[in-house]
Every structure is written in structure tokens, then in C-alpha cells.
Structure 1
């Protein structure tokens, strides 16, 4: 047995020894973390050669190795410089030093200039002193992915600072003016993915208005931006995700290519994604105040809609406060869903309404024939919740999975305990009728 094991080890070593140097370079690139790459490259001369000539990806991350936290800034700069300068064909470089206050500008410029002819991806999250204009140093090269954090971008010149290959741009906690951001998008004719996370956007006038335009943009993620008006012109946009954004007005001008719309914890007075919503497949709205009739009208042409999620939304229908005698209309009713969204397969609903409005939405005879997953939730459970669940189940003949989300407070009153016990009994009886439906409970 020991002989066989030794033979296996010998064969394994022999196999590693005969690996092409390019393959070894790919292995080192998969490791990516600088510490692991350096240790692995000391195996033998062949691995050192692979590290020098065939290493494509390298990452310096303070979370990968605790020792990084104990080193001085100047020592880190030397280590990064020496490691980068021992390579000749880096395509992906990532530098994330969480505990470093500031890097000196000179070594950062040296890293960028040394790798600029081969680099395809740059992820950079370290402050520099004085500030280094990463955009200026990285333009007119082969970059396809650029992710910047905690930096300042000033004086973008789209006629000079072009990014002919850039497809993905991420700016987090970056200081930039609205004009420079607009010019930066102009300098990226092939940009498809844009992420803006808590940027410090300087405005040229008193009104906080930002206008962006990109004919190639397909995916936009915006988080923690406060503006009076956000105007986006994007004819190819397929995915729009707004999160934690107080806005007065948001308008999307496009050609109806939007497929995914996500709104999470957004405050907006006027929201407009245009009339062409035929291609919408996913609508995910949470922590949002909406007027359902207007919102429903906006997406009513989305006959391809497969997923609809309205989670902890607040419905505001007070168009006319004086018209108190107006008949109460349903908010999310099955009839509307079945007519407008016949392909709907996943439905998630969680909102607080008066019982008469909640149950009024179950009127009619239409079914959600394609619905296979139903998620329902409450923040304050009432006696009518189980009746609502039963009503919806009866309208979903092909349902396969039901998930119920609830909030259970630690200090429950006697009435709350009674309602929860009654609801549990109702669900148990209900599931005896729908044995084919998988049921899950998620309580907070």
C-alpha cells in the first residue's frame, strides 16, 4: 500500500512537472490572491517563469491576509510594486486595502503605467494623496471592466479620454460632478453595465438634476443617490435597479427594451419608464409608496411578465381627498393580474390593507393558470389573512409552492397569540385540501 501511494505521489509530481507553463500561469491566475500566488510561484523555476510571463490576474486584498493590516503604508506600496513589476502580462488587477488611509500618488501611477498595455480589468479601492486621476491614466487603453471606490474624478474630456473597450463601470463613494459623469458615459461607447453607489455628485446649479445618456447601456444599478431630477436616456436598457434613493423625479427614455425593473426603498414623486413596457419580465418593488392604478397602467402592456413582487409597499390613492364617497377599488386584484399578465409564474405580495379592500381583490372568476410560486407576507397579522391566502390558492390551479412570511413580535398580546393560533389551524386545514402544494414558513 505504501509503495502504491509513493508511486501515486511520484506520478502526480511527474504530471505537475510536465504541465505547460501556460497552464501553470492559468492555475496561478485562478488563485489570484497575491500572497497565494507568490507562495505557489516559489515551487520551482518553471512556476516562477509562469508567474512572470503567464500570470493574468492578481489581487491585493487586506481581507485575504491579516498581516496586511499590520504593515505600514510604505511597506505595502513596496510589496505591491515588487509583485506587479515581476509580471509581464497582467490582465486583471485588484487592489483593496480597507485599513490603509492613503497611498502615495507616485507608486499608484507606476502600477497603472506598467500594466496599461495589457490590463483588461481594474478594481481599485484605496485613497491616494494627492489624488490620482484614474480615468486619465486608464483611458485610451484596452480596459473592459473598471471599478473605482473612494476616489475623485475631475475634468473628464470625452474627446481625449476615451474608453473604446469598456463594458462595465462601477463607481462607489466617488466624488464626481454631474457633467463629468455625463461626459464619462460619452467616452464609453460600448458601456453595457453601470453601477453608481453613494456617489458624491456635484451640481452646476441649485436644482439637483442629472441627465445621463448611453445608447449601449443594458444594466443600471443606482444606490443612495439623492436628486431632484434623474433623466436617463438609454435605448438598450434591459435591467434597472434603484435602491435607497430619495428622488423627486425619475424618467427613463428608451425604446422599450427593459426586461427587469427593481425598486427598493425609493422615495419618488414622479416615476416614468415610458409607455413601451412590452418586454418587461420581472417587476420587483419593495419598501415603496405607489398609486397602484397608475403603476399598473404603466406596466399593463407587459404581457411577458413572469415575476411580480410587491413587498411592504404602501398604496396611496388619495387623488381627491374631497371625494370620500367614491367606491373603494381593489389594489392588486386577481382579475387584473390574469388579464394583463397571463404568463405570470411567480407572485409575491406583502402589504397592509383594510380587510374589505384586501378581500375585494379576490372578486371575479379568472385564474392565474401559469402561477407556480406564491409568496405572501404580513407585518401585522389579522383574522382576514388566512381568508386571503385561501382565496388566492383557489385561483392558482397549477401552484407548486407557497411561502408565507411573517413578523412575530417577542412580546405578543393575548389577541395576537389567538390570531396566530387561528391562522396556523386554518393553514393546516387548507393544506389538507392542497396536498400537491409545498408550503414553507419564514418568520422574523
Structure 2
């Protein structure tokens, strides 16, 4: 016990011997407001470090009782007041009073560069107005649960704002107010609107974006027609000079929708996700196109000569939309480097695969959904993807036999002589029993070990998602037996595991190495 106490005191002395600048940088990496408050109570040197060299503070998510949260709010205010050069402030939970929020922003108006506020406030609190009134130099603002009051030009007087994220507004904004956000923030480069309701939308919604805006993300945005007349079609049009990335996810409108971005000559990336659209027009400068779970009846895709990345996915009713997808792949540029065709494509045969191989000779990344009918039994001349390096395969292990799937993989390996990496992604269904779900990857692993032996430089990744029972994967005795067998069977195999704690993904990497590369 005495040795432990002496070791602790010596480590404390070593920390106190550090320069005050280093202590401040350490606290900036720690960031937690509670720990910073404890550091302030330690000694004068640590208080000087907080005052002059603390640049970042985070108030992480915590479940507290109301009276404890009020005390926690006072702690945040005390720490913020002790800083002189605070640049980043993040508040993620709780209900903050307007007075405390006003004190924070006023104290840091000259130094604060990034402000993330994902907490609830009383109705009528306008962070944009507070920042404008205090003449803040903030550059990044992320405002969650944003109860936006009526906007005017004075509230948007933030000349240094570069990034703006508005999430969860309960009040309906008019289209003119949304347009005001885009036009008045002259240095805005990245804008995200999430859960915003646009009120009194006309039949043609035109957003004139500032020349500085480069990225625009609209997620779960609703265009409410209100009492206006309801024409047959509603058009969303963008006019911008330097916009390069546009994402439209989960848009909700009362009538049919047409999206026009053909006037945006600088657009390079377009993402359409999770909503129905009648007509899509885009500029000829487009380099990346993602259509994810979106029903499109008409697509003007004559100018796709700059396209290098194409993703097409439809979970349901793919047969009705496949003709448009097929035309898109046929009209895409020969410069295409990355292609993803997912969702169980109907009538997709080896002729289509051969067309893709001939049409896109520079293709280096391909993703496909498993289909037993892709390769015929008597198929002799297979399409060749000579430049392909990465191959991604999706399979439903509930309806697929592992031996049939392994044979399908073998045909694809023969089509890709220069392949370096192959990722096999297993679909997970919540109703599927745990024993049945784990059985398929185990059997497939044993088959793949012999199947890819002639391809010594191909790295195979087998991935799946399972939200529960992650620990059970590694505690099963038969799983450990499988791992030991792969590691010690003498077949030049190595198996590595990696668990992503954020997304609950377990990853099995099966790599075949030559004997001289073995450790």
C-alpha cells in the first residue's frame, strides 16, 4: 500500500512538473467538463492552464435528475467563465436555460469557433440571434432540437459562419425564410437541414444558393403546400455557382416531385435517398451518383461522361424501376471506376455482366447481389474484369446454400485476374434464429479456405451485423474450435477478428498468404 501511495504521489509530481501549456493541451484532449472542473480545483497552475490553454470543452450525454442537472449547468458556466481562449464547445444533453446559454456565448464571442448544441431550450430561444447580437466569430454551428422563431436578415448576420446544421425544428419555416438562410450567410460552405418543415411551398421551389456554398444536405425535409393551389407537379430547383455535393434524403411533399439540378454546373456528387421522384435532371459535370431506395420514373441521363462512381439500390419493387437503372448503366461514362448494383436485380444475366465489363474497362470496384441464375451451367466464356481490384458481394444466408454461393464466388474469381480484396456481406434479419445465422458463415469459412487457395493474394472479408449477443460469438466452443483449426491447420491461413463497438459489427478476415510471408 505504501509503495502504491508513493508511486501515485511521484506520478502526480511528474504531471505538475509539466509546462502549463502541455497541461492545457492535455485537458483539451480530455474535454469533459467535469474533469476540467476538478482540474481547476487542484492548484493554481492547473487553473492557469484552463484559463490560457484550454481550447475544447464537451458536455457528454448523461441521465441526471432535474436538480442535479441544474448543478451541472452551473458547473459548465463556471468552467466556461474561467477560460479565456475557448474555441470549441459541445453541449449534448439536458435542458439549458436561456440565461446560461446567453452567458456562454457572450463570454466566448471573440474566441469561439465551433458550437455544438444538441440540448433542449425554452421556446423562442434563438441561438442565431444570440450569436448575431454578441457579434460572435463562430465558424461552425450545429443546432439540434432547433425551435426556430421567425427569421429576418438581422438574425442571420454571421459573416464568419462556414458550417451550419439545423436539426429537429418544430416550427414551420416558410420557403422565403429557408432561402434567407442560404443567401444571407455569405461565407457558408456546408449547410444541413434535418427535420425542417417548409411552409406555404409554391408549385416551383427555387433555392438561389450563395456562391460560397459547396455542400448542401436536406434530410427529412417536408414541403407543406398549405392552402395553396395544388398543381399536378411540384418542382425543386437549385441555382448555384460552386455547389459540389447535394444530398436529398427522405423528402416529403404532398404532390409529385421533380428535381432539377442541371443549372448547377459545378455539381460533382448527387445523392437521392428514400423518397419517390417523378423526374430527375442533373448537370453533365456529375462524378458521383447515388440512388438509394428511390423510385424514379424519368431520368435525364444523357450527359454522364464525367461519371466515375455509380450506386443503384432498391429494396422493394425493383423490377419496375430496373429498366431505368439499366439505361443509366448503359449511358454511363467509360471512365467509371466504381459501380454498385444492389437489391437483387431482376433478369440480370451474364450478358449484362459482359456488357459492364466491355463498357467500363477502367472499373476497379464492383458490388453485386448474389443471384444463382447469373452464371449458367454451360457457360464457358466468362466476362473479364482485368482492372478490377475490389469486389463486394451481398448474400441472403437464409435462402442461399453455402456450397452454391461458393461456386458463384469461384466464377467471379475467374473473371477478375487482378483482384486483391473481396468483401462478402451477409444480410441479417431480426427474425432469424441465432443458431441458423451463425451456421452459414461457419460453413462458408470452411469452404472458402480450400476455394481461394489458388488465389494467394486475395484478401477475403466476411462481415455481418448483429445487434445482440456479440459476446456469445466468441464464447461458443465450436467457434473457438473453428478459429484454432484455421490458425494451426498448416494451410497458410490466418484469421483476425475485429469488433466495431459503435455499430455492433463482427468482422472475420480470412487471408491466404504464401509460406514465405508467414511469421
Q: In the alignment, which residue of structure 1 is the partner of 2:419?
A: 399
Selected match of 2:341 from 276, 298, 310: 310
- Number of the residue aligned with 1:349: 368
- 1:331-342 matches, cutoff 5 A: 333-342=352-361
Counterpart in the other structure of 1:372: 389
Mapped to 1, the partners of 2:53 and 2:161 lie a distance apart of 23
- Greater relative contact order: 1 or 2 (C-alpha under 8 angstroms, separation 6 or more)? 1
Distance 1:165 1:331 in 2: 55
CA distance in 2 between partners of 1:220 and 1:76 (Å): 35
Consecutive unaligned residues in structure 2, runs of 5 or more: 224-233, 288-305, 434-439, 466-519
Aligned to 2:488: none
Match of 2:191?
Answer: 194
Structure 2 counterpart SS, 1:255? coil
Q: Report the CA distance between 1:137 and its aligned residue.
A: 1.6
What is residue 255 of structure 1 aligned with on the other side?
265
Please list every run of 5 or more consecutive structure 1 residues that lacks an aligned counterpart in the other structure: 316-327, 413-418
For 1:363 and 1:249, the matched residues in 2 are separated by: 45
Aligned to 1:324: none
* 1:295 is aligned to 2:288: no
User: What is the aligned partner in structure 1 of residue 458 from structure 2?
Assistant: 437
Contact 1:309 1:347 (C-alpha < 8 Å) held by counterparts: yes
CA shift at 1:136, angstroms?
A: 1.6
What is the alpha-carbon distance in structure 2 between the residues aligned to residue 275 and residue 310 of structure 1? 22
Indicate the SS of the match to 2:415.
coil
Tell whether the 8 Å contact from 2:156 to 2:185 is kept in structure 1 after alignment.
Answer: no
Moved more, 78-87 or 283-292: 283-292
Residue 97 of structure 2: aligned partner: 104
Q: Pick which of 114-123 and 234-243 moved more.
A: 234-243
Distance 2:96 2:441 in 1: 57
CA distance in 1, matches of 2:247, 2:187: 20
Residues 1:57 and 2:56 aligned together: yes
Contact 2:36–2:79, Cα closer than 8 Å, also in 1? no
| CA 152–422 in structure 1, closer or farther in 2 if over 3 Å, else same | closer
**For residues 411 and 177 of structure 1, do their structure 2 counterparts lie closer, same or farther at Cα, with a shift above 3 Å needed?**
closer
Partner of 1:267: 276
- Are 2:392 and 2:422, in contact at CA under 8 Å, matched by a contact in 1? yes
Evaluate the alpha carbon distance shift between residue 293 and residue 21 of structure 1 in structure 2; reply closer, same or farther with a 3 A threshold: same
> Per-residue deviation at 1:147?
0.0
- Is 1:231–2:237 an aligned residue pair? yes
For residues 168-216 of structure 1, what are the alpha-carbon distances to aligned partners after superposition, in whole Å with 9 as ceiling and x for unaligned? 211111244332222112222332222232x232322365846352433
TM-score computed with the length of structure 2 as normaliser: 0.66
Asked if the contact 1:359/1:388 (under 8 Å) is kept, the reply is no
Counterparts in 2 of 1:229 and 1:313: CA distance versus 1, 3 Å: farther
How many residues matched?
410
Cα 1:177–1:423 change in 2 (3 A) is same
Task: Say if 1:411 and 1:216 are closer, same or farther in 2 by CA, change over 3 A.
Answer: closer
- 2:202 is aligned with 1:203: no
- Tell me which of 175, 181, 184 is aligned to 1:178: 175
Aligned counterparts of 2:23 and 2:464: Cα–Cα separation in 1: 49
Indicate whether 1:21 and 2:20 are aligned.
Answer: yes
Please say if residues 261 and 282 of structure 1, whose CA atoms lie closer than 8 Å, have aligned partners that are also in contact. no
Residue equivalent to 1:95: 91
The 1:50–1:406 alpha-carbon spacing in structure 2 relative to 1, beyond 3 Å, is closer
Given that residues 126 and 151 in structure 1 are in contact (C-alpha distance below 8 angstroms), is that contact kept between their aligned partners in structure 2? no
Q: 1:211 to 1:339 in 2, by over 3 A?
A: farther
Superposition CA RMSD, Å: 4.1
Mean Cα deviation higher: 142-151 or 390-399: 390-399
Deviation of the 1:271 alpha carbon: 2.8
Change (3 A) 1:37 1:332: farther
Secondary structure of the 1:183 match is: helix
**Distance in 2 separating the partners of 1:39 and 1:263:** 48
1:136-169: CA deviation from partner (whole Å, max 9, x where unpaired): 2223532111000112224433477333222221
Q: Any conservation in 1 of the 2:162–2:189 contact (CA below 8 Å)?
A: yes
Q: Relative to structure 1, is the Cα distance of residues 246 and 309 closer, same or farther in structure 2, using a 3 angstrom cutoff?
A: farther
CA contact (8 A) 1:244 1:265 kept: yes
Contact 1:196 1:222 in 2 (8 A): yes
Q: Contact between 1:133 and 1:154, CA under 8 Å: does it hold in 2?
A: yes
Q: For 1:147 and 1:22, how far apart are their aligned partners in 2?
A: 29
In structure 2, the partner of 1:163 is: 158
